[in-house]
Structure 1
Amino acid sequence: MFEGHDPYLVALSVVIAILGGYTGFGLAARIRGTPDASHRLLLAGAAFFLAIGIWTMHFVGMLAAPLPAGAVYLVLPTIVSFLICALVVGISLFFVSVGEPSMLRVVSSAVLLGVGIASMHYVGMHGLSGNFAMTHDGAMVLLSVLIAIATAYGGLRAFLARQGGVQLALSAVAYGFAVAGMHYTAMAGMHLVPPAQGSHQHVDGLAASPQILSLVVALLCFVIAAGFLLSLVPDPRKKAAATTDVVAAIPGAVAFVADIPPADSGAATTSPRLRPTPLGGIGQPPRAPPAPRLPVEGADGTHFIDSADVRSVRADAHYTKVHDGTRERMCPWSISEAEAQLDPGLFVRVHRSHIVAMAHVTLVRKEGDGAIVELDGPSPHRVPVSRAKIAEVKARLGLARRHA
């Protein structure tokens, strides 16, 4: 498969695919933890870096191949191949980033993405022109398409996992080798043969030499490397969330409150005395008082909504999504912090990823091993209830059976 290929360029093509995958998946993993206004920007960035990584890897692999002298690259098919790649990557990421993706949606997106990657490869190959004819082995074409689909499925699964650190790096490495494997499998099935006796192949349209393509590829490699380095910059919101979780986990945590003397005591000018007030009783974990308002992120900054207007809270990576009956917005709290802050007399955690306001429940229905509840508002929505929480939900709704 690699006979006659430049080993250094082959290695570089794999590294490019890995860096592009890491950067793209790293951006995509942040989509569900950001305000709605940032979704499109992150989605476009993830699609851009994944497409750049795939396309650049392809042409570095082409530069590594032993091509006949005088071979050139037609500009139009080369540009079209990149547009195909960017389009299918963007569509696939969009399909699996909206709502809770089903297995059918993930598989369909993987097939679309895999076929798109293979199409990008063969359209790009069609852009190779010179005094030769190109043929493809049908079995290797089919195998390369199957590898592309499997690669796309693994990539989408890595995106849905929304993991970071070592897990993201391992996913990117596997993805990079898989994309490179698809390319070199297809190259193994390609054969360049001399034209028929007396015939001569003419180059139709604007063409670029391998030297010009090398400059373009070098520039894109720089873009990928820059994006990779930027993706390593820690997210300050995650650091803040981690600090909050650590402080909340400290046993015996105390809060200092100001003991301000009455205005008529004559001590208005004295400094207030601070005394520690325990947040929890002996043997009980500390608990914050119920929060009257929840912070939610908007395009223009952080807003606050009354807890009385909250219908449900849904876990979303390190953050949560708060539904106020009209729409869902990102909250910087984790699901555990939201549960600790909200009044347990009004809110129940009905699922490991969902909290609901019981006063707004308008429907409860058994579904599978669990149940679902519907919450009121201008845009009613439904929330799953785990099997372990069904009895508590029914009791809070007055539906529990009474035994003599």
Structure 2
Amino acid sequence: MAMHHNFYLVALSIIVAIQASYVGLYLALRISGAFALNRRLLIAASAMTLAVGIWGMHFIGMLSMGMAADVDYLVLPTLLSFLLCVLVTGIAIFMASLRSPHLLVIAAGVMGLGIATMHYVGMIALNSSARITYDPAYVVVSFVIAVTVSGLALWLAFSAERRPPLFLCATFLGCAVSGMHYTAMQGTTFDFSLAAQSLSTSFMSSDTLAVIVSVVAFAISGIFMLTLVPKRLAESRDHEDQRAGEISADDFNDIEVDDTVTARPADATANAFIDGVSANLLPIEKNGNRLHIAASEVISVHANAHYTYVFNGRDDLFCTLSITEIFERLPKPVFYRTHRSYIVNLAHVGQVKKSGDAAVAELVSPVRRTVPISRARVADLRQELAAHQSRQHSDIA
């Protein structure tokens, strides 16, 4: 069968892919700064948005292709291709959000291979209507396009030194999806010799069905943007205005000390004790256990509603102390308050980069993370970092 396409639907399919990529990446970039339930919601929303957009692009792309006979899409392979898409995009987005170079390479492979595999699994749905054969060269090229271009999109969004506009990253990812699809279709041959000739018996045209699919994809993206993004913005507001003198609800009695963490005093405050517990130790909860973490193990702190999360380089550990109480316990000047809701360990600040009107500090840790810096504190932080590095050189000398 010689294929021909409805170019209006081809353009619509590419727009759906780019739009879903933009919203999916927009949500994914906020995963690293989210915690607990909000983190899981952002991962799920990003994966679902991308999956619907990618699957919708493929489905609209199939509808754009003129068929010589009636085509029945088997339900099971169609659903399986969608579920596969949700799974691989979720895994890829989660690994990319950790901002580790090694995990980013794996994420690119998972994303690209998943997109291509989803396409060929979905094509099984046409086996009852036609005999399908593939040109091996086009199959290989389609996998290469999916892996390399989606990898480039993820790298630009999560790892580039100066991230380009998000729309450009989304365009690359959308092109990876659509480019893979139409390259694969170019090497696909359909044999309808045993199928009935196409008759206008369908109650819905391909154009109408394509528009419905695209509207559903846009609606899902819009719902996630409207429900999750305002919530994330609200969480970034100042939580320091809680009662500065409020007494922590944490009871220090019968609390274990994590044997894997050692408290290394940084200055004279290490000798201070609160209810028999060193002031240099922060109470945390990990895997349902109440433990303590030494100040030397803390990389950053983030205020979240009435509680805080202590980041140790790999995990966000729940802490019931307010950010003001934590800042009072942490040794100075090693720890610096970059924002009313954030504290960083200067020893783990890799570089300070401009971000809009303010800036962000990139942390050096096994799991990459950035911390916002208030515009008024950018210059002061740079001075503190220079002073900290000077102190380190003096200690070495």
Does the alignment reach a TM-score above 0.5? yes
Q: Check 1:210–1:82 CA distance in 2 against 1; reply closer, same or farther (3 A cut).
A: farther
What does residue 221 of structure 1 align with? 214
Query: How far apart, in 2, do the equivalents of 1:68 and 1:312 lie?
Result: 65
Return the letter of the residue paired with 1:184: Y
Query: How far apart, in 2, do the equivalents of 1:82 and 1:30 lie?
Result: 24
Query: How far apart, in 1, do the equivalents of 2:64 and 2:38 lie?
Result: 39
Q: Check 1:94–1:232 CA distance in 2 against 1; reply closer, same or farther (3 A cut).
A: closer
TM-score scaled by length of structure 1: 0.59
What does residue 365 of structure 1 align with? none
What does residue 49 of structure 1 align with? 49
Determine if contact 1:74/1:128 at 8 Å carries over to the other structure. yes
Q: Map 1:250-265 onto structure 2 (within 5 A).
A: none
SS at match of 1:134: strand
SS at match of 2:347: strand
What does residue 189 of structure 2 align with? 191
Determine if contact 2:60/2:213 at 8 Å carries over to the other structure. no
What does residue 182 of structure 1 align with? 180
SS at match of 1:185: helix
Query: How far apart, in 2, do the equivalents of 1:168 and 1:158 lie?
Result: 9
Q: Check 1:3–1:214 CA distance in 2 against 1; reply closer, same or farther (3 A cut).
A: closer
Q: What are the ranges of 5 or more consecutive residues in structure 2 without an aligned counterpart?
A: 197-201, 240-278, 286-291, 303-307, 320-325, 336-344, 353-363, 366-384
Q: Check 1:164–1:48 CA distance in 2 against 1; reply closer, same or farther (3 A cut).
A: farther
What does residue 171 of structure 1 align with? 169
Q: Check 1:10–1:346 CA distance in 2 against 1; reply closer, same or farther (3 A cut).
A: closer
Q: Map 1:5-404 onto structure 2 (within 5 A).
A: 5-98=5-98, 100-103=99-102, 105-129=103-127, 132-161=130-159, 167-195=165-193, 200=194, 211=204, 218-230=211-223, 235=230, 238=233, 311-314=297-300, 322-323=310-311, 328-329=316-317, 344-345=332-333, 347=335, 349-353=346-350, 392-393=391-392, 395=394, 399-401=395-397
SS at match of 1:135: strand
- How far the C-alpha of 1:17 sits from its partner, in A, is 0.2
- How far the C-alpha of 1:115 sits from its partner, in A, is 1.6
Determine if contact 2:16/2:53 at 8 Å carries over to the other structure. yes
SS at match of 1:33: coil
Query: How far apart, in 1, do the equivalents of 2:329 and 2:160 lie?
Result: 26
Determine if contact 1:117/1:148 at 8 Å carries over to the other structure. yes
What does residue 257 of structure 2 align with? none
Which range is displaced more, 321-330 or 75-84? 321-330
Determine if contact 1:25/1:158 at 8 Å carries over to the other structure. no
Q: Check 1:81–1:308 CA distance in 2 against 1; reply closer, same or farther (3 A cut).
A: closer
Query: How far apart, in 2, do the equivalents of 1:346 and 1:112 lie?
Result: 39
Determine if contact 1:72/1:210 at 8 Å carries over to the other structure. no
Determine if contact 1:21/1:175 at 8 Å carries over to the other structure. yes
SS at match of 2:100: coil
- How far the C-alpha of 1:340 sits from its partner, in A, is 13
SS at match of 1:68: coil
Return the letter of the residue paired with 1:349: L
Query: How far apart, in 2, do the equivalents of 1:88 and 1:176 lie?
Result: 16
Determine if contact 2:157/2:164 at 8 Å carries over to the other structure. no
Q: Deviations over 1:125-178 (max 9, x none)?
A: 121145542211111111111001113212322442599997111211222123
Determine if contact 2:295/2:330 at 8 Å carries over to the other structure. no
Query: How far apart, in 1, do the equivalents of 2:6 and 2:328 lie?
Result: 59
- How far the C-alpha of 1:329 sits from its partner, in A, is 4.8
Query: How many pairs align?
Result: 298
Determine if contact 1:47/1:86 at 8 Å carries over to the other structure. yes
Query: How far apart, in 2, do the equivalents of 1:236 and 1:142 lie?
Result: 43
Query: How far apart, in 2, do the equivalents of 1:145 and 1:164 lie?
Result: 28
Q: Check 1:308–1:191 CA distance in 2 against 1; reply closer, same or farther (3 A cut).
A: closer
Determine if contact 1:18/1:176 at 8 Å carries over to the other structure. yes
Determine if contact 1:80/1:123 at 8 Å carries over to the other structure. yes
Indicate the percent of aligned positions where both proteins have the same amino acid.
33
Return the letter of the residue paired with 1:352: V
Query: How far apart, in 2, do the equivalents of 1:241 and 1:38 lie?
Result: 13
- How far the C-alpha of 1:85 sits from its partner, in A, is 1.3
Q: Check 1:388–1:4 CA distance in 2 against 1; reply closer, same or farther (3 A cut).
A: farther
Determine if contact 2:156/2:164 at 8 Å carries over to the other structure. no
Query: How far apart, in 2, do the equivalents of 1:30 and 1:323 lie?
Result: 16
Query: How far apart, in 2, do the equivalents of 1:400 and 1:93 lie?
Result: 41
TM-score scaled by length of structure 2: 0.60
Q: Deviations over 1:220-250 (max 9, x none)?
A: 4233212443566564765896999xxxxxx
Q: Check 1:146–1:340 CA distance in 2 against 1; reply closer, same or farther (3 A cut).
A: farther
- How far the C-alpha of 1:193 sits from its partner, in A, is 2.8
Query: How far apart, in 2, do the equivalents of 1:163 and 1:55 lie?
Result: 31
Q: Check 1:72–1:109 CA distance in 2 against 1; reply closer, same or farther (3 A cut).
A: same
Which range is displaced more, 183-192 or 106-115? 106-115
Give the number of the structure whose alpha-carbon radius of gyration is greater: 1
What does residue 279 of structure 1 align with? none
Query: How far apart, in 1, do the equivalents of 2:170 and 2:164 lie?
Result: 10
RMSD, matched Cα? 4.8
- How far the C-alpha of 1:312 sits from its partner, in A, is 2.5
